[in-house]
């Protein structure tokens, strides 16, 4: 069984540095939550992980299908519950991409494969939130 390990160090205040596969990731709370807003919030990093996971899947799939594309962006909005612990309960993913009109069905297939088969982060999110997605062609 594969295992992932992350080491995290307390820097003071509300700030931490996580070492993820030899890459330092700075985390902090917002000023509103007692921090200095000097790094990303841990919950928002979850959304970044979701975007990165599905994005990597889609690029890999489109490359295998020999689909040329540009201007690929992923925008995620997520709603938090009101009560503690505050968790995401609804996530909306918007994929924006520029590619030939003839390749749009391939993009839809790539997104579907990512969301239904390959993206482990999306699969984890679906255990606690509704995940919706749509594609905007540029």
pLDDT per residue of the chain (138 residues) written in tens, 0 to 9: 999 999 999 999 999 999 999 999 999 999 999 999 999 999 999 999 999 999 999 999 999 999 999 999 999 999 999 999 999 999 999 999 999 999 999 999 999 999 999 999 999 999 999 999 999 999
pTM, 2 dp: 0.95
pLDDT of residue 130: 98
Mean pLDDT of the chain: 98
- Strands 88-99 and 69-80 turn out to be antiparallel
Q: Is 5 exposed, middle or buried (0-12, 13-18, 19+ CB in 10 A)?
A: exposed
d(CA 88, CA 72): 25
What pLDDT was estimated at residue 9? 98
């Amino acid at each position: 069984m594969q295992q992932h390990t992350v080491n995290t160090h307390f820097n003071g205040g509300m700030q931490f540095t996580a070492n993820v596969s030899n890459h330092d990731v700075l985390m902090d709370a917002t000023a509103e939550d007692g921090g200095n807003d000097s790094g990303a919030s841990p919950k928002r990093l979850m959304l970044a992980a979701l975007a990165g996971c599905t994005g990597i899947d889609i690029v890999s799939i489109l490359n295998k299908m020999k689909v040329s594309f540009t201007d690929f962006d992923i925008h995620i909005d997520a709603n938090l519950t009101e009560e503690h612990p505050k968790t995401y309960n609804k996530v909306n993913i918007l994929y924006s991409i520029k590619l030939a009109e003839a390749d749009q069905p391939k993009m839809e297939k790539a997104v579907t494969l990512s969301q239904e088969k390959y993206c482990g982060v999306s699969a984890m999110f679906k255990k606690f939130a509704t995940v919706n997605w749509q594609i905007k062609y540029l």
